[in-house]
Amino acid sequence: MNDQRKRKGYTVDFKRNAVKLVLDGRHTCRSVERSLGVSPGIVYRWVRQYRASPQECFPGNGRLRPTDERVRVLERELHTVRMERDILKGALAVFSRKPARSIGT
């Protein structure tokens, strides 16, 4: 039998609303978790992520934060430029060699 558990996903609005309930000071993380029916510790994690970076928290499933995405793009570009440089170095070495003298001349 294939007994794999599916990971439950939550929308960004759901997470932000849960965090707001805690940050308002009227509810604790644990009480919000119980009332929403989410796993223990998850609301606390959302609150930590929100406090660390309110604008970049909860980027979505499989997405990177904008700063991390920019770093990824720059690393990819650097890799391409290095490959091009190495190809040009090889071509320069080939074309800068003196031609071999032929035996019959």
Give the pLDDT of residue 85: 94
Query: If we measure between CA atoms, which residue out of 10, 37, 9, 33 comes closest to residue 21?
Result: 33
> Per-residue pLDDT for the chain (105 aa), expressed as one digit of tens each?
555 666 677 888 888 888 988 888 888 889 988 988 888 888 888 898 888 877 777 766 666 677 778 888 999 999 999 999 999 999 888 888 877 776 765
CB-CB contact of 58 with 68 (8 Å): no
Give the pLDDT of residue 82: 96
What does the alpha-carbon distance between residue 32 and residue 39 come to, in Å, rounded to a whole number? 10
Give the pLDDT of residue 88: 92
| Domain layout of the chain by residue ranges | 8-61, 64-98
Give the pLDDT of residue 2: 56
What does the alpha-carbon distance between residue 23 and residue 21 come to, in Å, rounded to a whole number? 6
